[in-house]
Amino acid sequence: MPTTIIESKDFNLFYGDFQALKNINFQAEENTVTAFIGPSGCGKSTLLRSFNRMNDLIEGVQTTGETNINGISVYDKSVDVNELRKRIGMVFQKPNPFPKSIFENVAYGLRIDGIKDKHIIEEKVVSSLKKAALWDEVKDNLKKSALALSGGQQQRLCIARALAIEPSIILMDEPASALDPISTSKIEDLIYELKKNYTIIIVTHNMQQAGRISDNTAFFYMGELIECDDTKTIFTNPSNLRTQNYITGRFG
């Protein structure tokens, strides 16, 4: 029996008066990759950001319903949002390394967590860079500014940075959309590798990418989750006509 790690129950989200998510019921199981697909503005990023409550940072956001991460209702008043985010890694569409050294980028999450021991920090920085498949390219230049890396390297650095705090979940919002094909395939290989130990949600506009890397695919349309199923089923035999039209490129 697989464990449900992420769960949205009758979840609604409003930006002021505008309802961006409508009655979402969604589940993701441990060590799976789920792809979020759907036309622009349908709420993929919004749902992704609801899992680690990044939406809290936007003024005027209101939610109803429930979101459970590892069985904990995260919108509960007793939940410490900073602790929640430490258990969930996030990778953004545009690589956004801090204007600091490569080392300090990866160490940042550890430092703000109050870890002072130099050896522990060094060890985790190295292992995170290795997990993010960046170690070989930067091991001689850890003091170099992260901004001097290429876009693809920066994105893998951002992944390493997210891995350093040892989350169990990784949320990725179009992580490869700003990258060239070679960097993209490196990121895809990496996701495949990471799946063994992490639960991953990835937003993508690239159908082939969704097909290649995900176990499950969720199709969204105008704030609704139209269907979520096995990726193979979604791509070959979707139960909803809109899903089929979207996948075959008839709209969106």
Ligand X SMILES: Nc1ncnc2c1ncn2[C@@H]1O[C@H](COP(=O)(O)OP(=O)(O)OP(=O)(O)O)[C@@H](O)[C@H]1O
**Residue 182 engages other proteins in binding (rule: CB under 8 A):** no
Distance between CA atoms of residues 221 and 110, nearest Å: 38
Question: Exactly one of 44, 85, 131, 186 binds ligand X (CB under 6 A); which one?
Answer: 44
Nearest CB to other proteins, comparing residues 126 and 147: 147
Nearest CB to ligand X, comparing residues 81 and 252: 252
Taking the complex as a whole, the smallest distance from the CB of residue 218 to ligand X amounts, in Å, to: 11
Taking the complex as a whole, the smallest distance from the CB of residue 85 to other proteins amounts, in Å, to: 4
Contact range with other proteins by CB under 8 A, out of 13-21, 51-59, 181-189, 242-250: 51-59
Question: Exactly one of 10, 58, 62, 94 binds ligand X (CB under 6 A); which one?
Answer: 58
Taking the complex as a whole, the smallest distance from the CB of residue 91 to Mg ion amounts, in Å, to: 13
59 is in the binding site of which of Mg ion, ligand X, other proteins, none (Cβ under 5 to 8 A by kind)? other proteins
**Residue 251 engages ligand X in binding (rule: CB under 6 A):** no
**Residue 99 engages other proteins in binding (rule: CB under 8 A):** yes
Question: Exactly one of 108, 178, 185, 212 binds other proteins (CB under 8 A); which one?
Answer: 108
Site string for other proteins, 112-131 (x = CB under 8 A): xx------------------
Identity of residue 148? A
**Residue 18 engages ligand X in binding (rule: CB under 6 A):** yes
**Angle ∠(164,154,158) on CA atoms, nearest 5:** 25
Cα 183 to chain centroid distance, Å, stands at 17
Question: Exactly one of 6, 43, 69, 88 binds ligand X (CB under 6 A); which one?
Answer: 43
Nearest CB to Mg ion, comparing residues 1 and 251: 251
Site string for Mg ion, 33-52 (x = CB under 5 A): ------------x-------
Question: Exactly one of 14, 15, 75, 98 binds other proteins (CB under 8 A); which one?
Answer: 98
**Residue 54 engages other proteins in binding (rule: CB under 8 A):** yes
Phi–psi pair at 14, nearest 5 degrees: -120, 135
What is the SS3 assignment for the chain?
Answer: CCCEEEEEEEEEEEECCEEEEEEEEEEEECCCEEEEECCCCCCHHHHHHHHCCHHHHCCCEEEEEEEEECCEECCCCCCCHHHHHHCEEEECCCCCCCCCEHHHHHHHHHHHCCCCCHHHHHHHHHHHHHHCCCHHHHCCCCCCEHHHCCHHHHHHHHHHHHHHCCCCEEEEECCCCCCCHHHHHHHHHHHHHHCCCCEEEEECCCHHHHHHHCCEEEEEECCEEEEEEEHHHHHHCCCCHHHHHHHCCCCC
